[in-house]
Structure 1
Amino acid sequence: MNTLFKTIFFAGAMLIATLSTNTYANEAAKPWQLTTQSGETISLGQYKNKPVIVHFWATWCPYCKKIQPTLDALQKKYQAQGVVLIAISFNEDEGTLPQDEIQRRGYDFITAVNGETVAKLYKVAGTPTTFFINRQHEVIFKTSSSNPDDPRFDLALQEITKR
């Protein structure tokens, strides 16, 4: 085996090991229901049999702003496999309009508001925190990374889109 192949193989094996040793791996995603800024009800249950990225964030969070372009690009890349990106805004200042901020940033993914109860349910300690949930609604990967080049994101998407 040449050195480049060995390096790529080893890196891939390490990423798979990282995902599989994740403390949340294969844990059932807890059901939740929130509203959007416009008052529409949204729940995890309405995305039955779909891979879902659940991204906890806040408009004031600079790290969220850094990772959102990557999450948006991944959602678009895997859109044909049914991937849905749902942002859950929490710990916002009074009067903040998270969906307006997402649109101002050039994205169109759905944002639920007042997500403090769901953040607590998912044991989210801070922003950003992102969960990758497969079609069976099992959490495959959880991360607080804001590194847009983190290779685990793409690997997690490959895992959650498996049939």
Structure 2
Amino acid sequence: MLSRLRQWWRGHRLRRGLVELLVIAGVFLVLRAWLQQDMANGPVPPLAGTTLEGRAFDLRRYPERPVLVHFWATWCRICALEQVSIDAVARDWPVITVAMQSGSAADVQQYLREAGLDFPVINDPDGTLARRFGVQAVPATFIVDERNRIVFRERGFTSEAGLRFRLWLAR
């Protein structure tokens, strides 16, 4: 009798744990969809400008490989945690980052120098580019494929492995 009770309890706990896990996953997916609802999807909005290094950049001129478009800010602590990953990905994939509401170009350049970062940056002091992409909070990341379509979008922290995997899938 006692062994049957133990078996029933173990099975019940397993089912209960599985139900709890499914509820948590469902809440996560709904929250993620809600956070991304205003972010651009489908055809990529225009993204052109001059990088802090003085190079002209136009996102629509990258037809050969997927491109990582990353919005960040100097004042964002989550962005600071993610920047080493963005810098590493930029060595192997086309990357453009947009410094949103982070001050003057000189302020952003100083920040990059102090942090030892080398990825390309377009400064967006008034948030114009961010609004085109529906970015209301940073970090925000988009993967754009060869047809200039947004195939992945993420708001919040993303790992280097996650970025590389999404870029690989977008090929």
Q: TM-score, normalised by structure 1?
A: 0.69
Alignment of 1:2-41 (within 5 A): 27-41=42-56
Moved over 4 A (4+): 21-26
Distance 1:60 1:25 in 2: 23
Q: Is the 8 A contact 2:71 2:100 kept in 1?
A: yes
Q: Is the 8 A contact 1:27 1:138 kept in 2?
A: yes
Distance 1:26 1:37 in 2: 27
Instruction: Give structure 2 stretches of 5+ with no counterpart.
Output: 1-24
Q: Which amino acid aligns with 1:118?
A: L
Alignment of 1:60-139 (within 5 A): 60-76=75-91, 79=92, 83-94=93-104, 96-114=106-124, 116-139=127-150
Q: Is the 8 A contact 1:66 1:148 kept in 2?
A: no
Cα separation, partners in 2 of 1:95 and 1:26, compared to 1, 3 Å = closer
Cα separation, partners in 2 of 1:32 and 1:26, compared to 1, 3 Å = closer
Q: Is the 8 A contact 1:56 1:128 kept in 2?
A: yes
Distance 2:124 2:140 in 1: 16
Q: Is the 8 A contact 1:50 1:134 kept in 2?
A: yes
Identity of aligned residues (%): 26
Shift of 1:103: 3.4
2:60 aligned counterpart, secondary structure: helix
Q: Which has the larger radius of gyration?
A: 2
> When you count helix as a share of all residues, which structure comes out higher?
2
1:140 aligned counterpart, secondary structure: strand
Cα separation, partners in 2 of 1:48 and 1:154, compared to 1, 3 Å = closer
Q: Which amino acid aligns with 1:29?
A: V
Cα separation, partners in 2 of 1:155 and 1:103, compared to 1, 3 Å = same
RMSD: 2.8
Which one of 46, 60, 63 corresponds to residue 48 of structure 1? 63
Instruction: Give structure 1 stretches of 5+ with no counterpart.
Output: 1-13
CA offsets per residue over residues 120-150 of structure 1, 9 Å max, x none? 010001111011111222111111121537x
Q: TM-score, normalised by structure 2?
A: 0.67
For these two proteins, the number of residue pairs brought into alignment is 137
Residue range with higher mean Cα deviation, 45-54 or 118-127:
45-54
Distance 1:109 1:38 in 2: 10
2:121 aligned counterpart, secondary structure: strand
